[in-house]
Each structure stands twice: as C-alpha cells, then as structure tokens.
C-alpha cells in the first residue's frame, strides 16, 4: 500500500486516481499468496497503473531524473575509487551506496541529498570486515578464476554507480567477459536498455535484456537466451533487493550486492537496515521460510 501511494504520487496522479489504485489493488488481495515473491506483487501494481493511465512506462521521467542526478556524481565517485587504498573494495561500496536510489523502497527520496550523504559517508570509510555478509576475499578469488561475469542491474540512476564498479573490475580483471542485464519491460523505476545507453554502459560492456517484466529477475519470465547466459556464466552479481528476493532460492555462483532497506530483508540476512551486503549464494545458510 505504501508503494501504491508513492508510485501514484510519482506518476502525478490525483487523490481520486490514487484511491482507484487502492481499490484495484485491494480487489486482488484475495488472489495474492504470501508465498508469492514481492517482485510479482509489484508487477500487479504496475499493470493496474498502466491500465488506469494508458502509459506503459509511468515512471519514465523519474528514471531520467535519477540517471541525470547520478551522472553528476560519477566523476566524484571515480575519484573516490581511484584514490582509495583498495579501489575494488571502494568501488563495491560506491555501487552498493547507489542502491539507495529506489523509489519502491525509500520514500520521499531526494536523490541529490542522498548521494551526497552516501559519498561523504563512504569517504569517512564504512567498516566492512570479511564476514558472511561481506565476502570480499571470496569475491576476488572467484573473479580471478572466472572467465565471464553477468551483472544483473536494478534501478535507473543506480546503474551509474554500477558502471563505476564494472570499470574497476575491468581494469583489475581484464580477462573477464562482462555482460550487464536490464529488464525487458517497464516496471517501476527498474533500468531498461535506454537507461543503460543513457549512462554509457553500452560503450563499456555488452548490455542485454533479460526479457523480465518484474522488479527483480524472476528467471521463469526470462527469455531462453538469457536463461542460457545465466546458466553458463562463471560469476553473477545480483544487484539490489528485488533481485535478491527473486533469486533467493536459485542455485548458482551468485553474489547479492545491496543495501538492506527494510525489516524483512534485515531479518532474513541478520543485519541492520542500511547495512551494506556482499553475500555469496549459499542456499544452506539462508532461511527457507518466506520472511516477507
């Protein structure tokens, strides 16, 4: 319901139109299972908004604003990374910090203020000791041994900071063939091909569409070509909460890269809200019951 209100406001809908959104979503509650992944629930909301407004990508302007705001901080982020004692760790921290650009989970978000605050926080150094929630040494080892890397993107704007991390990985692991994946269709503020092109990711690495229409990579909705890529890639970076929620039970060489934004995720991972996470997929160590 919070996401419905926030999305309606971002789309510029009137109070009466937002009330219709609530009515439409409320009419579907009896059909929603608690075992259903959160990204699937969000796709229901997107369909209702699209049907009501007749606009296929209702957050298009918001995404473009996010891309522009993040791009204005790109050089500062690169400078921070280049000046760090450990550039790869710094790039990971910057990429995770960029994960805060999520209108679906963070409300009343001032992108400029958030990015300035986060980069300042990074400059003061976030303590990320090697742990189950920040598997940095294992990550470096896996990149060294790998031949291919699939980076599954999350939100518009945020992908600017993914670009900074990818550029750093390219410099340190030039043998890696890197592919960046975007959503196949408009869904909330998730990044599409045009967003990747707008921030210059396509000039850095190969960019592909997953074919997915949910705010999180639900593999059952992906194209056959993408599933083949997913299954054949040596290392996968899954960026953000939506992708974590979608790939939680999917085995593979996956690293979940995110900042915890809500209580269900913090309970699931055993961390605090706003903690930064670099967690390797180990199904046996993740609670099997649905925390959402």
pLDDT, tens digit, 9 for 90 and up, residues 201-210 = 999 999 999 9
DSSP 100: G
Q: If you count DSSP H runs as helices and E runs as strands, how many of each does the chain have, helices first? A: 13, 6
> Which of 158, 61, 56, 69 lies closest to 106 in space, CA to CA?
158
Q: What structural domains and CATH numbers belong to the chain?
A: 2-57 (no CATH), 62-285 (3.40.50.10880)
- The per-residue pLDDT for range 69-85, each reduced to its tens digit, is 889 889 988 998 999 89
pLDDT at 171: 97
Residue 120: pLDDT over 80: no
Q: How far apart are CA 103 and CA 84, in angstroms?
A: 30
> Which of 253, 289, 251, 152 lies closest to 207 in space, CA to CA?
152
Which carries the bigger pLDDT value, residue 263 or residue 209? Answer: 209
pLDDT at 150: 98
Tokens, residue 224: 């056959």
- The per-residue pLDDT for range 167-176, each reduced to its tens digit, is 999 999 999 9
Residue 292: pLDDT over 60: no
Three-state DSSP at 235 gives strand
Q: With cut-offs at 50, 70 and 90, classify the pLDDT of residue 151.
A: very high
pLDDT at 5: 84
Mean pLDDT (whole number) for 229-249 = 95
Residue 274: pLDDT over 80: no
CB 87 within 8 A of CB 80: no
- The per-residue pLDDT for range 46-64, each reduced to its tens digit, is 788 788 778 889 889 889 9
Q: Among 115-129, 191-205, 240-254, which range has the highest average pLDDT? A: 191-205
Which carries the bigger pLDDT value, residue 25 or residue 17? Answer: 17
Q: With cut-offs at 50, 70 and 90, classify the pLDDT of residue 195.
A: very high
Contacts by 83-88, CB closer than 8 A, 24 or more apart: 87/168, 87/171, 87/172, 88/140, 88/168, 88/169, 88/172
pLDDT at 64: 93
Mean pLDDT computed over every residue of the chain: 85
Residue 8: pLDDT over 50: yes
DSSP H or E segment with residue 206: strand 206-209
Q: What percent of the chain has pLDDT over 90?
A: 50
Residue 185: pLDDT over 90: yes
pLDDT at 116: 63
Q: How far apart are CA 141 and CA 1, in angstroms?
A: 42
Among 22-36, 50-64, 138-152, the least confident range: 22-36
């Amino acid at each position: 319901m919070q996401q419905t209100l926030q999305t309606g406001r971002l789309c510029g809908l009137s109070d009466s139109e937002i009330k219709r959104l609530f009515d439409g979503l409320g009419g579907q509650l009896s059909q929603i299972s608690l075992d259903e992944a959160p990204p699937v629930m969000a796709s229901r909301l997107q369909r209702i908004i699209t049907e009501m407004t007749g606009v296929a990508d209702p957050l298009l302007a918001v995404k473009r604003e996010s891309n522009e705001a993040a791009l204005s901080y790109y050089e500062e982020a690169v400078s921070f990374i280049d000046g760090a004692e450990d550039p790869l760790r710094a790039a990971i921290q910057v990429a995770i910090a960029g994960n805060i650009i999520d209108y679906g989970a963070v409300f009343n978000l001032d992108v400029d203020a958030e990015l300035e605050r986060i980069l300042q926080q990074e400059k003061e150094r976030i303590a990320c000791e090697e742990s189950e929630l920040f598997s940095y040494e294992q990550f470096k080892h896996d990149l060294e041994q790998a031949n291919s890397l699939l980076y599954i993107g999350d939100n518009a704007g945020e992908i600017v900071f993914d670009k900074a991390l990818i550029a750093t990985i390219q410099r340190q692991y030039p043998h890696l063939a890197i592919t960046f994946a975007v959503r196949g269709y408009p869904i909330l503020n998730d990044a599409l091909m045009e967003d990747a092109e707008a921030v210059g990711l396509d000039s850095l690495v190969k960019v592909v569409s997953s074919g997915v229409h949910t705010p999180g990579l639900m593999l059952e909705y992906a194209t056959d070509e993408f599933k083949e890529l997913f299954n054949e890639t040596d290392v996968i970076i899954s960026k953000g909460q939506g992708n974590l929620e979608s790939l939680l039970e999917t085995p593979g060489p996956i690293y979940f890269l995110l900042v915890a934004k809500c209580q269900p995720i913090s309970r699931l991972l055993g961390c605090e809200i706003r903690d930064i996470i670099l967690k390797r997929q180990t199904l046996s160590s993740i609670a099997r019951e649905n925390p959402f």
